[in-house]
Amino acid sequence: MPELEAILLVGGQGTRLRPLTLGTPKPLLPTAGVPFLAHQLARARSFGVRRVVFATSYRAEMFSEAFGDGSVFGLSLEYVVEETPLGTGGAIRNAAAALTCGPGAPVLVLNGDILSGHDVGEQVARHVARRAAVTLHLTEVDDPSRFGCVPTDDEGRVTAFLEKTPTPVTNRVNAGCYVFTRSVIDAIPPGEVVSVERETFPGLIESGALVLGYAEAAYWLDVGTPAAFVRGSRDLVLGRLASPALPGPPGDLLTLPGATVSDGAKVDGGSVVGAGAVVESGAQVSGSVLADGCVVRSGATVTDSVVGAGARISSGVVLRDAVIGDGAVVGPGNELLAGTRLWPGVVLPECAVRFSSDV
């Protein structure tokens, strides 16, 4: 397999994941026991990538602190910072200054919030064989209006790129993994805010350049919302998407070093119990992410939720599809359901929030 360079787009603010992203960029959120990007980096390495340029903006310094020179992954990592966010296209153009490959080489470009099991090697091979300008991985979703809608012709040529259109013409969407021919990146105007989705791709299609779709129905998830983030972590722990970065064998539960799960506790469904976290006897945790140092007391039920670092979940609490910020305290008897988010450090008194009317 030829050596490949990649650009990782990681400059977004992750607003839909607040409060989790208030202090940590989305691509660094602990996911199945490691920073989210560790899964992407390990997979990229397995497809022949040897050098990765991070296109950073929001909390840029945290990326180099997390991954350093990349030798742990067998990768060489570079970090490029945008003083103000340049949009996806501007970010790719800006990061290209750190590439070493020639103008005709394929460059892999990845959105920093995607879990995908597709065959990147095959995507690159098709791109090279067809001498395309850009080759986009395409996947099918139920609601294409939240994504870039990408119709193609019979030969796989992309005929339009419709970003977040209320009237999608196909369920096939941009899956956020591109192969660019290097010279196509260099043609993006430097130092300007540019969106690949709204400007570069439509412009290339308009000009008659070959923009190719690579449709593959492998595991795929954008982890940009709390529900999707929890699902991604769960799927990695359960082994629904194999990741070389998973710190343990796939299974019902991942416990990190220093975690304590009492004998009488039930923890399953792909949950993670972070370092130093405690789950007391009689607690039930399913499909959830328990961050480092949090405590789930006896008799609490936590389902499909995120409990932030150092947070306290008291007896009798019910959490479902909830996000509890770092250090928050949920007093006894509260029920937080259906997308509730508690900001870091908030202390919820006993029985302050109930969903059911029969109390």
Q: Give catalytic residue positions.
A: 164
Q: Is 148 in the site for ligand GDD (CB under 6 A)?
A: yes
270 makes contact, choosing from Mg ion, ligand GDD, none, with CB < 5 to 8 Å by partner type, with: none
Contacts (CB under 6 A) with ligand GDD, residues 29-48 = none
Q: Is 111 in the site for ligand GDD (CB under 6 A)?
A: yes
Distance CA 251, CA 345 (A): 32
Q: Which of 6, 7, 11, 210 binds ligand GDD (CB under 6 A)?
A: 11
Distance CA 353, CA 205 (A): 52
213 makes contact, choosing from Mg ion, ligand GDD, none, with CB < 5 to 8 Å by partner type, with: none
Q: Which of 21, 57, 301, 334 binds ligand GDD (CB under 6 A)?
A: 57
Least distance between ligand GDD and beta carbon 86 (Å)? 5
Outline where 170-225 has alpha helix (H): 182-186, 201-207
3-state secondary structure of 324: strand
Strand 172-181 with 134-140, pairing:
antiparallel
Residues within the interface to Mg ion (CB under 5 A): 113, 222, 224
Number of H helices and E strands in the chain, helices first, is 7, 30
Distance CA 43, CA 61 (A): 23
Nearer to ligand GDD, 113 or 304 (CB): 113
Residues 6 or more apart whose CB falls under 8 angstroms from that of 283 comprise 262, 265, 266, 267, 296, 297, 298, 299, 300, 301, 302
Q: Is 176 in the site for ligand GDD (CB under 6 A)?
A: yes
Q: Is 229 in the site for ligand GDD (CB under 6 A)?
A: no
Q: Is 213 in the site for ligand GDD (CB under 6 A)?
A: no
Nearer to ligand GDD, 196 or 313 (CB): 196
136, 163 Cβ separation under 8 angstroms:
no
174 makes contact, choosing from Mg ion, ligand GDD, none, with CB < 5 to 8 Å by partner type, with: ligand GDD
Q: Is 151 in the site for ligand GDD (CB under 6 A)?
A: no
92, 108 Cβ separation under 8 angstroms:
no
CA distances to 54, 118, 203 from 105, rounded to whole Å, are: 19, 21, 21
Q: Is 147 in the site for ligand GDD (CB under 6 A)?
A: yes
Nearer to ligand GDD, 144 or 274 (CB): 144
Least distance between ligand GDD and beta carbon 146 (Å)? 7
Q: Is 232 in the site for ligand GDD (CB under 6 A)?
A: no
Nearest one of 33, 63, 82, 62 to 277, comparing CA atoms: 33
55 makes contact, choosing from Mg ion, ligand GDD, none, with CB < 5 to 8 Å by partner type, with: ligand GDD
Distance CA 328, CA 309 (A): 9
Nearer to ligand GDD, 13 or 284 (CB): 13
Nearest one of 57, 115, 108, 59 to 87, comparing CA atoms: 57
19 makes contact, choosing from ligand GDD, Mg ion, none, with CB < 5 to 8 Å by partner type, with: none
Contacts (CB under 6 A) with ligand GDD, residues 295-334 = none
Q: What type of residue is 213?
A: G
What is the separation of C-alpha 293 from the centre of its chain, rounded to a whole number of angstroms?
23
Least distance between ligand GDD and beta carbon 311 (Å)? 26
The token duo for 331 is: 């007093």
Q: In what order do the strands lie in the sheet with 253-255?
A: 253-255, 271-273, 289-290, 306-307, 323-324, 341-342
Nearer to ligand GDD, 190 or 264 (CB): 190
Q: What type of residue is 194?
A: V
Q: Is 28 in the site for ligand GDD (CB under 6 A)?
A: no
Number of residues that bind ligand GDD (CB under 6 A): 26
Residues in touch with ligand GDD (CB under 6 A): 9-12, 55, 57, 82, 85-88, 91, 111-114, 147-148, 163, 173-176, 197, 222, 224
